[in-house]
Amino acid sequence: MRSPTEKDRELISRALEFARKAHGDNKRMSGEPCLAHLIETAKNLANLKADKETISAGILHDILEDTDIKREELEKEFGGTIVFLVDGVTKLGKIKYRGLERHAESLRKLFVATAKDVRVLLIKLADRLHNIKTLQYINPEKRRRIALETLEIYAPIANRLGMGHMKGTLEDEAFPYLKPKEYAETLELRQKKTHELAKTLEKVNRIICKKLAKEGFTKFWTDFRVKHLYSLHKKLERYEKDIGKIFDISALRIITLNNKDECYRILGIIHNMFKPLPERLKDYIAVPKPNGYQSIHTVVFSGDGEIIEIQIRTEEMHWEAEFGIASHLVYDEANKPKSGGSLDKKIKWIKQLFNWQKNIEGSEDFLENLKTDFFNDRIFVFTPKGDVIELPIDSSPIDFAFQIHSEVGNHAFGAKVNGKMVSFDTKLKNNDIVEIIVKEKSEPSQKWLEFAKTTDAVKHIKIALEEKSKCRNL
């Protein structure tokens, strides 16, 4: 992370001047000048530590849609990269497309552009973040649509790219518009619980800091984190509203400036002082979440009748968890992101999204399948080697097989879950270890279509069945 240079400022002020002239006195629904929205979008991008091209494109992002400026003019003034970024977030024309269709196709266009340059998506998220914060000025019907879309599409994208802060904020801003009653309840509950636990957390924090200092730890800091509202609401639903089972409404965080070994040493020290609830220990350092999230979570008895969660991570893991893909987007001279382990994984997911959309015809299918395949509730299962495979909820071993490779799916003969043979229509659960037995002669059957969940599996099964019937007709 670096501070902006003179040259960065020059480009950004030029973009601002250009936008000021083009948008003139145009106002938004809120009565605010359009320019205010553009500046807020740019600020959001700056908070994500975006580079000068991205920030400038953020300032210019509505220019093709809302003013008379043409692509060519913009290109002459700012060059190909910035035009590409702006065009990527520009919706398709109203004339050719209508309503839902325009909406789905614009989203598809966004994914295509994002596959080429992920900064397009950052601009879209920064734009949406300001829009959702100013939703009260929009008419109720549009308001609901934007809130729903934020919750169902943009927040899950941010989550998948490891942008924890963005995901949490988008959800919490959309939440009151979709479920006002639940929003108010959750807010009240959180305030009450945070207040109740504050003293205990502070006390435990003091004890731990003192002990760590005594043991020679110098490079660490701690803070308290409060759970985002929407994620608390979802967790409450999962636990049938039993607040007694949720221990992470507010939690103590310990962040070390050293490496992960130190996280385990700190964990040892904590468990030595406070008795843990063993089944609540989660080691996301050894087994990161599929979006790259790393941390150790442990739940302990505080000693004065409370139960609290403590999270331990390195500083690097911390920034990664807050900003995700944005924390990696350092571009080299050729405008290519510098690669690295967890960034490559996230980019791979974007490529999957890109390849997936190519195979979906029609706008309505597009939105529906997008939700089941990528954004609805997911489960995580393991291969026998310990690789994590992510699937939609209620997936079958057949979905798993096709997720591994189309050839594994096409020749699946049997399946084992946690070491036991199961039928193909078994519903997989979180943390299952799944193994597919493959036989050369085995092929997909019509019956599989009754329980296959993923678009990818359904597609491959249909192709295989068609091939088979062709052969029979020859």
Q: Which residues pair with 380 in a beta bridge?
A: 390
d(CA 455, CA 207): 52
List 422's β-bridge partners, or say none.
415
Q: Are 348 and 289 in contact (CB under 8 A)?
A: no
Q: Binding of Mn ion at residue 309 (CB under 5 A)?
A: no
Residues 452, 398 contacting (CB under 8 angstroms): yes
State the minimum distance, in angstroms, from the CB of residue 127 to Mn ion.
4
- Listed ranges 119-127, 256-264, 431-439, 456-464: which one lies at the site for Mn ion (CB under 5 A): 119-127
Query: Quick one: 55 or 391, whose CB is closer to Mn ion?
Result: 55
CB closer to Mn ion out of 66 and 77: 66
CA distance 87 to 110: 9
If the CB atoms of residues 19 and 326 are measured against Mn ion, the closer one turns out to be 19
Catalytic site residue 65? yes
| Spatial contact of 135 and 147, defined as CB atoms under 8 Å apart | yes
For Mn ion, the nearest residue by Cβ is 127
| Catalytic option among 17, 25, 40, 66 | 66
Tell me how far, at minimum, the Cβ of 41 lies from Mn ion, in Å.
Answer: 6
Binding to Mn ion, residues 370-429 (CB under 5 A): none
Residue 71 CB, shortest distance to Mn ion, in Å, is: 17
Comparing CB distances to Mn ion, the nearer of 19 and 267 is: 19
215 is a catalytic site residue = no
Site string for Mn ion, 41-70 (x = CB under 5 A): ---------------------x--------
DSSP state of 308: E
CB of 65 to Mn ion, least distance (A): 8
CB of 130 to Mn ion, least distance (A): 7
Q: What are phi and psi of 282, to 5 degrees?
A: -125, 125
The least distance separating Mn ion from the CB of residue 78, rounded to whole angstroms, comes to: 18
Cα 408 to Cα 398: distance, rounded to the nearest angstrom = 9
> 60-75 in b/e burial notation, b at 16+ Cβ within 10 A?
bbbbbeebebeeeebb
Residues 121-150 that bind Mn ion (CB under 5 A): 127
Residue 364, amino acid: E
d(CA 307, CA 188): 20
Q: How far apart (Å, rounded) are the C-alpha atoms in residues 442 and 448?
A: 13
Q: What mask of x and - would describe binding to Mn ion in positions 66 to 105, judged by CB under 5 A?
A: ----------------------------------------
Measured between alpha carbons, how far is 301 from 136 in angstroms, rounded to an integer?
43
Q: Which is nearer to Mn ion, 127 or 399 (CB)?
A: 127
Judged by beta carbon, residue 59 or residue 381, the one nearer Mn ion is 59
**Least spacing, CB of residue 441 vs Mn ion, in Å:** 56
Asked whether the beta carbons of 69 and 78 are under 8 A apart, the reply is no
Catalytic residue among 8, 65, 77, 306: 65
Contact between residue 411 and residue 443 where contact means Cβ atoms under 8 Å apart: yes
First-to-last CA distance in the chain?
Answer: 64
Place of tokens 């490079």: 219
Nearer to Mn ion, 37 or 453 (CB): 37
Return the active site residues: 65-66
Judged by the rule CB under 5 A, the positions of this chain that interact with Mn ion are: 62, 127
